[in-house]
Amino acid sequence: MAAAPALKHWRTTLERVEKFVSPLYFTDCNLRGSFLTPERLPYQEAVQRDFRPAQVGDSFGPTWWTCWFRVELTIPEAWVGQEVHLCWESDGEGLVWRDGEPVQGLTKEGEKTSYVLTDRLGERDPRSLTLYVEVACNGLLGAGKGSMIAAPDPEKMFQLSRAELAVFHRDVHMLLVDLELLL
C-alpha cells in the first residue's frame, strides 16, 4: 500500500492558496464571481411563472443561468402495455421534476438522455401529465471555453436539440449493449 503524500512546507501551501484567491491572479477564471452568483429559482417559484412556448432548436442561456421548461405531454392510447420514455437532449445539465420532486438528471454529455415515464403503461394509467425540466447552463464539468480548465464563455448560449416521447424497446437496447461490449 502506498504511503500518503507528504505535505509541502506550510508556507508554500499558504502562498499557493493566497495566489488562488487573490484578485490579481486567475482573473480570467472569475473565481470570486462564480461563488457570488445569485441563487437559482426554487421549484415552487419556477412553476408559478409564466412559460413561453419552446421547441427543438431554440436557444436559451447564457452561461450560468438556470432555465425551466414545462413539458405537457399526452401518451398515445396505442402505447398501452409499452415502456414509454421522455427523450430530452439539451446543452447543459438537466433535472426532471415530477409531482414536485426531482426524479432524474439528464445530460447529453453523459449520455443520459431519457427518463422512464412508465415501464408498462396500463389501460387505466393517466396518459397526460406535466413535467418540469430544470436546465443549468453549464457543461458537465464546468463552462470552460473550448476546454474544462479554460475561462468560461459568459456569452455562450445553449440549445434544446431533442424533446419527444418514445416507446422504449428494452430487448433491442440490451442487444445493442451486448454488441457494444463485444467491440
pLDDT, tens digit, 9 for 90 and up, residues 66-110: 999 999 999 999 999 999 999 999 999 999 999 999 999 999 876
pLDDT, tens digit, 9 for 90 and up, residues 119-178: 999 999 999 999 999 999 988 777 777 766 678 888 889 999 999 999 999 998 899 889
Contact 119, 83 (CB under 8 A): yes
**Residue where the block lists cell 408559478:** 48
**CATH number of 29's domain:** 2.60.40
Cell of 67: 432555465
Determine the average pLDDT of the residues in 41-48. Answer: 93
DSSP state of 110: T
Q: Is residue 2 part of a domain?
A: no
Buried b (16+ CB within 10 A) or exposed e, 142-166: ebeeeeeeeebeeebebebeebeee
Q: Is residue 136 part of a domain?
A: yes
Cell of 139: 457543461
Question: What integer pLDDT is reported at residue 143 of this predicted model?
Answer: 79
How far, in Å, CA of 168 to CA of 134, rounded?
23
Q: Is residue 46 part of a domain?
A: yes
Question: What integer pLDDT is reported at residue 140 of this predicted model?
Answer: 78
Question: What integer pLDDT is reported at residue 145 of this predicted model?
Answer: 77
Domain holding 94, by residue range, is 22-182
Q: Which pTM was predicted?
A: 0.76
For the beta sheet containing 101-107, the strands, ordered from the edge strand earlier in sequence to the opposite edge, are 66-74, 128-136, 93-98, 101-107
Question: What integer pLDDT is reported at residue 28 of this predicted model?
Answer: 58
- Residue 1 reports pLDDT greater than 60: no
Q: Is residue 149 part of a domain?
A: yes
Q: Is residue 67 part of a domain?
A: yes
pLDDT band at 37 (very low <50, low <70, confident <90, very high): very low
Question: What integer pLDDT is reported at residue 12 of this predicted model?
Answer: 80
Q: Is residue 73 part of a domain?
A: yes
How many domains is the chain built from?
1
Q: Is residue 171 part of a domain?
A: yes
Q: Is residue 15 part of a domain?
A: no
